[in-house]
């Protein structure tokens, strides 16, 4: 990330941190949700925006992270370790789901993850003795110093994790694995010709992406105080896809903007569930059709005023 952009993002981070103690409980809750969504979105962008793959069941990995870290916390594991356990569990399952699908083509991953999302939801729902079934599982927040309001303190925890993971992703994209991911999105044939294993790097992208989803899930549980299968449905998975499509694929800013917009979308569309679902479909399809670079791409074009937006190959530069 160039100096100017880095300063800009640090300013955004500082502004969010400064605003937290000043805003009300509900706006702060939305800000926390958005920060959790940013983590999911960063992982999703690696998969969709950079490597050119799509997962239609990411909510399942989010859920695996949430349940794993909640159960670990309940068993007395320290918060940070429980969080990591959630990420690792999601990533391991991601590899198991990804291996068969990724050996063939991108379509297979989309459909396999779609099916897996449904299977995982059923497991969350029917595994009552572990997951609490439909009535859910209560999740405790980590202990924070007493001088800070708990909601504000927990927002700082989420923000810190999001910042570290964003920094990590930027570094990954600038390293050798990152170049492999970017090359995958550009041309699989070229990757193969360069003697780089397509399957291995696709799997690596999927594993990292599901790790991010798992960590986000682990942060989501304590935020709500409660997890149940209704949070990890196909609609949640689609909203994760929407973050990238609406925000803008293959750009850091697009992933963050998309996460914020999609988190606030249900607030903007206060209507029946079915109408909301239809609006999601229309927004998703409309964005994929008419906004190939998302809202971030439009913003970038307005600001930079270059005839073409930054190509995907320059992600992370």
Partner 1 sequence: MELLLQQVVSGMVSGSIYALIALGYVIIYKATDVVNFAQGDFVMAGAYTGIVTYSLLSLPFGVMLVAVVGIGAALGLAVGGMVSMMLVRFRSSLVNTIIVTLSVGIVLNSAAMLVFGPNPYPLPTSFGKVPISLGGARITPLSLVIIAVCAAVMLVLFAFFRFTRLGKAMRATAQNREAAALMGISVQRMFALSWMLGSVLGALGGLLLAPLIMAEPSMGIVAVKAFAAAIIGGFTSLPGAIVGGLALGVFENLAGGYVSTAFKDGIAYLVLGVILLVKPTGFFERRAVRRV
Q: Which of 110, 144, 196, 313 binds partner 1 (CB under 8 A)?
A: 110
- Closest distance to partner 1 from the beta carbon of 84 (Å): 28
**Is residue 189 at the binding interface for partner 1, with CB under 8 A as the rule?**
yes
CB of 46 to partner 1, least distance (A): 13
Asked if 270 touches partner 1 (CB under 8 A), the answer is: no
Cβ neighbours of 299 (radius 10 Å): 17
192 binds partner 1 (CB under 8 A): yes
- H helix intervals, 225-251: 234-247
Annotate each residue in 237-266 with x if it binds partner 1 (CB under 8 A) or - if it does not, as one string.
Answer: -x--x---x---x-----------------
For residue 106, state whether it binds partner 1 (rule: CB under 8 A). Answer: yes
Strand residue runs (E) in 95-236: 137-138, 226-227
Is residue 95 near partner 1 by the rule CB under 8 A? no
The span from the CA of 167 to the CA of 159, in Å, is: 12
Q: Does 44 bind partner 1 (CB under 8 A)?
A: no
Burial tier of 284 (Cβ tally within 10 Å: 0-12, 13-18, 19+): middle
Q: Closer to partner 1 at the Cβ: 116 or 220? A: 116
Cβ count near 176 (within 10 Å): 9
Q: d(Cα 155, Cα 149) in Å, to the nearest integer?
A: 10
Q: Does 42 bind partner 1 (CB under 8 A)?
A: no
d(CA 256, CA 305): 21
Q: CB neighbours of 128 closer than 8 A, spacing ≥ 6?
A: none
Report the interface residues with partner 1, using CB under 8 A: 48, 52-54, 56, 99-101, 103-108, 110-112, 114-116, 118-119, 189, 192-193, 238, 241, 245, 249, 274-275, 277-278, 280-282, 284-286, 288-289, 292
């Amino acid at each position: 990330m160039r100096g100017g952009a880095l300063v800009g993002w640090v300013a955004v981070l500082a502004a969010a941190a400064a605003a937290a103690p000043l805003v009300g409980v509900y706006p702060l809750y939305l800000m926390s949700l958005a920060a959790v969504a940013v983590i999911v979105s960063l992982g999703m962008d690696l998969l969709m925006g950079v490597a050119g793959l799509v997962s239609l069941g990411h909510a399942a990995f989010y859920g695996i992270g949430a349940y794993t870290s909640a159960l670990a916390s309940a068993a007395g594991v320290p918060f940070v370790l429980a969080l990591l356990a959630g990420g690792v569990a999601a990533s391991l399952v991601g590899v198991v789901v990804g291996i068969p699908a990724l050996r063939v083509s991108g379509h297979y991953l989309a459909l396999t993850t779609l099916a897996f999302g449904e299977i995982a939801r059923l497991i969350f729902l029917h595994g009552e003795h572990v997951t609490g079934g439909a009535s859910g599982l209560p999740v405790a927040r980590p202990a924070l110093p007493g001088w800070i309001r708990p909601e504000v303190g927990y927002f700082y925890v989420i923000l810190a994790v999001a910042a570290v993971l964003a920094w990590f992703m930027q570094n990954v994209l600038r390293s050798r694995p990152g170049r492999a991911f970017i090359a995958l999105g550009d041309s699989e044939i070229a990757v193969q010709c360069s003697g780089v294993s397509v399957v291995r790097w696709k799997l690596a992208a999927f594993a990292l992406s599901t790790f991010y989803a798992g960590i986000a899930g682990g942060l989501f549980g304590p935020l709500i105080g409660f997890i149940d299968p209704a949070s990890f449905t196909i609609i949640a998975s689609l909203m994760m896809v929407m973050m990238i499509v609406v925000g803008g694929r293959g750009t850091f800013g697009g992933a963050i903007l998309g996460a914020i917009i999609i988190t606030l979308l249900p607030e903007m569309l206060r209507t029946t569930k079915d109408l909301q679902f239809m609006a999601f479909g229309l927004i998703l399809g409309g964005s994929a059709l008419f906004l190939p670079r998302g809202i971030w791409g439009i913003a970038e074009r307005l600001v930079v005023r270059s005839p073409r937006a930054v190509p995907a190959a320059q992600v992370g530069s």
